[in-house]
Amino acid sequence: MSTQDILIFATRQVHIYFGLAMTILGVIGGIFNIIIFTTLKTFRETTCAFYLTAVSVVNIIQLLIVLFVRVLSEGFSTDIRRTSWVCKIQIYMAVCCRMVSMTYVCLATIDQFLSMSHYRRFSNLRLAQRCIFITGIFWSLYGICFLIYYDVSLGICAVINSNFGMFVTRFQYPILYGVLPLTTMTTFSLLAFYNARTLISRQINIIRLSRDRQLTAMTLVHVVFVVITTLPYIIYFIYSPEQIARNTLIYAILLLIFYLSFAGSFYIYFCVSKRFRQQFIFIISSVCIKQCQQWMNKRNTNQVVPNIETIDDIQLT
């Protein structure tokens, strides 16, 4: 077996085991995020948690459509991206979901900073709903360019316009995926963390203080995780201009690490926030108890059925 065959085999194995596991665990984690953020009153009443819920929804869509298609294509040799419309839809969804997700995380960090400053009045659900709607529309329209300039060429889903390819390499990846969102996330999460450290000296309700500090810690660690998983992929993409150079084992690993930023939020929140863990355990235990009760009731019903007449007689007497 040649070195090239070994690399191809290793790339497939990485996609099958690492990519598929990430897709499954990421979707499960995203669902738990949505359940916890919408059921726990402490989180449900905060704008930051509202943004994080929206992030989880977008990340689930991206994992199911974008990453899963890549796993099928690269891991199981079922490259459905060779079909023109599949190529275009996958690129469109990848760009839109990535930009929307990163923007929502940026908005969550900005909101968390505002909620603990003198500009708290700007942290409200109505404004958050408008920001989410406008952001979704804007990036959906932006993604139309990728529908136009991406297509199947020589059996590969790639950009078909050299000028647009230069735009992607010199602006899309370094600026829109890199400098702009990562700088915004880092700056406002650090400012929010600083404000959280000073809240204890103010006359603030203890419940709100605990909630804000937990949300700040969650967003800060989430941002650090996004930066760590995003930077290697962006740097490699910028300094690997040849398409052939990107179809390697290293590129596959870095791309899957990049997708960790969209799949790992639940596990980060679980490790960072005590209240998040408690709500998760409560939900799991409630579901298990309910299932056990239903099973026991069904079992008891099956046992009682042969003696219905006797029971009725006893009750009538």
Domain 3-272 has CATH 1.20.1070.10: yes
Q: Is 155 left (phi over 0), alpha (psi -120 to 50) or beta?
A: left
Q: What six digits make up the tokens of 295? A: 């099973």
Asked if 69 and 147 touch (Cβ cutoff 8 Å), the reply is: no
Asked if 135 and 104 touch (Cβ cutoff 8 Å), the reply is: yes
pLDDT at position 80 is 83
Q: Letter for the amino acid at 122?
A: F
Q: How far apart are the C-alpha atoms of 54 and 274, rounded to whole Å?
A: 22
Helix (H, G, I), strand (E, B) or coil at 242: coil
DSSP per residue, 182-225: HHHHHHHHHHHHHHHHHGGGS---HHHHHHHHHHHHHHHHHHHH
Phi, psi of 29 (to 5 degrees): -60, -40
Q: What six digits make up the tokens of 79? A: 């490259």
Asked if 128 and 149 touch (Cβ cutoff 8 Å), the reply is: no
Q: Residue 181 pairs with which residues in a beta bridge?
A: none
Other beta carbons less than 10 A from residue 199's beta carbon: 15
pLDDT tens-digit profile, the chain (317 residues): 677 778 778 888 888 899 999 999 999 999 999 999 888 777 877 898 899 999 999 999 999 999 998 898 888 877 788 888 988 999 999 999 999 999 999 999 999 888 887 888 888 889 999 999 999 999 999 999 999 999 888 778 888 888 998 898 889 988 999 999 999 999 999 998 888 777 655 555 545 566 677 888 888 899 999 999 999 888 887 776 555 455 678 888 888 999 999 999 999 999 988 888 888 888 888 776 776 677 677 666 655 444 433 333 333 23
Question: Where are the domains positioned within the chain?
Answer: 3-272
Phi, psi of 248 (to 5 degrees): -130, 170
Residue located via tokens 């870095």? 254
Q: Letter for the amino acid at 9?
A: F
The CA-to-CA distance between both ends of the chain, in Å, stands at 85
Residue 207 buriedness (CB in 10 A; 0-12 / 13-18 / 19+)? exposed
- CA of residue 108 relative to chain centroid, distance: 13
Q: How far apart are the C-alpha atoms of 184 and 106, rounded to whole Å?
A: 6
pLDDT at position 305 is 47
Tens of pLDDT, residues 130-184? 999 999 999 999 999 999 999 888 778 888 888 998 898 889 988 999 999 999 9
Instruction: Give the helix/strand (H/E) hosting 153.
Output: strand 150-153
Q: Which of 104, 89, 21, 19 minimizes the C-alpha distance to 56?
A: 104
Asked if 120 and 202 touch (Cβ cutoff 8 Å), the reply is: no
Q: pTM score > 0.95 for this model?
A: no
